[in-house]
Structures are given as C-alpha cells and as structure tokens.
Amino acid sequence: MSTDTTPEIRLAGLRKSFGDLEVLRGIDLEVTKGQVVCVIGPSGSGKSTLLRCVNLLEQPSAGTVTVGGVELTDPDADLDRERRRIGMVFQQFNLFGHLSVLDNVALPQRRVLGTDRATAERVARDNLARVGLADKASAFPAQLSGGQQQRAAIARALAMGPEVMLFDEPTSALDPELVGDVLAVMRSLAEEGMTMLVVTHEMSFAREVADRVVFMDGGHVVEDGPARQVIGDPRHERTRGFLARVL
Ligand code: ADP
Ligand code: MG
C-alpha cells in the first residue's frame, strides 16, 4: 500500500471568470498520487473549465494550481515544461486524419520532447499495445471506430510519459457499445497507479474505479467524498437531485 499522501494535484482558492461570468467560484481540491477522482455535475457547472485550469489551458483569475509540487500559476513557471507532465484526453479525440495511428502517437514525442524517430515509434507501439491497438498502428483514424480513436488518443497522451492524466468526458461522444473498451483502458491505467482526474457521466465507472467523487454545481464543489458514499448516499440535496436525474 502506498503511504504517500503528497497531493499530486492541488487547487487552492481557484477562480475563473469569463467577462462578467464567474465560472469557478473558489475551488479547493486535492488529488493524491495514484488516486482517481471523478468530477460529476450538471452541464455548465464548470467541470471542463476546472480541468483546463489544471494544465493552464485556461489562466485562472485567482488561486493556485500546483502539480507534482510545482506551482503552475507562479508567473515564473515554465509552462511548456510542466505541461508535459500532464496528459489530457478530450471528448473529441482530435487525431490528425492524414497521419497513421502510429505517427499520431509518435509525432508529439518527437516535436515536444525531441525524441528520435526510432525511440518515439517504439514508445508509440508500446502504448498502442497498452490500449489494445497494437494491430492498428498503420491504420488511419478514419478506419477506426470512435472507441478505437479515443484509445489512440489515450495512447498519444500516455506516450508523453505523464505523471497525471486529465479526462474530460472521454466517452460522451461514443456510441454506447464502444464506451466499455475505453473505460476498460482507463480502469487498467487506474490499477497501474496513474493519478487521474476524470470528468464523466459514467456513474458505474465512478463508483467502481474512483477513490473519490466530487460533485460540482454553479462553480462550487458541493460535495467531495468517497465514491460509494457520494453516489450511494449523498449528503447534499443538490447532489441527490443531480444523481436522481442521471442514474
Ligand atoms: P461543464 O464542463 O461543466 O459543462 P464548462 O466549464 O464547459 O462547464 O462551462 C461553464 C460555464 O462557462 C458555461 O456557462 C460556459 O458557457 C462558460 N464558458 C466556458 N468556456 C468559456 C469561454 N471560453 N468563454 C466564455 N464562457 C465560457
Ligand atoms: Mg464540459
């Protein structure tokens, strides 16, 4: 058992406004190394904005973001370097259609990390195998199902060697029969000890895989607790109301 309780991700007093609209209204959230935390909540509650603030794709209006002990909101932080430690997977997979699956996974390593071609391709193949796509390396994205494309996108993120992985509704764009394969890959990542912050509507995944579930509403964390408790026996009326609509 790991006894390391250093927060791998730490958000403190995080606020984000777009013009007059305050989308995040003071978020405190910690994810310990190796933990899986699922974020649930209604549409528009600020879940994607929260995730995008973790790697500073959005610049917070106030508060701090610390990943692996480095404060990314420090004006002196080297964001290009720090972001390499944070993998992100979106609802839309954003693969390059004109590149093979192998090249999609190998290219970011070469461009961003300066990895040589042979090494990048070996790492790409290893990670394609990890997501069950060893036999699709030379295929093009359009030849893959949505679920396979999303697994390729996960392999692309993993190939950069991230310390934490952020997932923003990774299965929401998929046909229902393709969701399971993507969740299985995420589950195996969790079992390997990857630190993961996952926005999802998949309540059974959250219940079974997450250490904690965070319910957001109106830019606040309304409830944050063990997955089974938040989903099975929520303390707050707003959490109960949300779960009654989605379960
Ligand atoms: P969720 O992911 O929970 O559905 P979002 O974080 O995407 O919520 O959005 C929260 C609110 O912030 C919404 O009202 C959305 O319209 C607004 N918002 C998100 N991004 C932007 C942006 N770049 N500019 C203006 N408003 C935004
Ligand atoms: Mg969203």
pLDDT digits (tens, 9 = 90+) for 6-62: 799 999 999 999 999 999 999 999 999 999 999 999 999 999 999 999 999 999 999
Task: Give the gyration radius of the chain's Cα atoms.
Answer: 18
Instruction: Kindly report the pTM of this predicted structure.
Output: 0.96
Dist. CA 46 → ligand 2 center (Å): 7
Dist. CA 23 → ligand 2 center (Å): 12
Give me the residues paired with residue 42 across strands. Answer: none
State the virtual CA torsion across 36, 211, 132, 94 in degrees, nearest 10: -40
CB crowding 189-211: b at 16 or more within 10 Å, else e:
bbeeebbbbbbbebbebbbebbe
Closest of 211, 167, 191 to residue 37, by C-alpha: 211
Residues within 5 Å of ion ligand 2, judged at the Cβ atom: 47-48
Nearest CA to ligand 1 atom 5: 46
Average pLDDT for 115-131: 98
pLDDT tens-digit series, residues 92-108: 999 999 999 999 999 99
Assembly ipTM: 0.98
In this prediction, residue 188 carries a pLDDT of 97
Residue 230 to residues 76, 175, 177, 221, Cα–Cα distance (Å): 38, 27, 27, 12
Looking at all shown ligands, the one closest to residue 42's CA atom is 1
pLDDT above 80: residue 145: yes
- Report the share of the chain in percent with pLDDT over 90: 97
Average pLDDT for 184-209: 97
Phi-psi domain of 137 (left: phi exceeds 0; alpha: psi -120 through 50; beta: other): alpha
In this prediction, residue 247 carries a pLDDT of 82
End-to-end CA distance of the chain: 32
Pocket of ligand 1 (CB under 6 A): 18, 21, 23, 41, 43-49
State the average pLDDT for the chain. Answer: 96
pLDDT tens-digit series, residues 174-195: 999 999 999 999 999 999 999 9
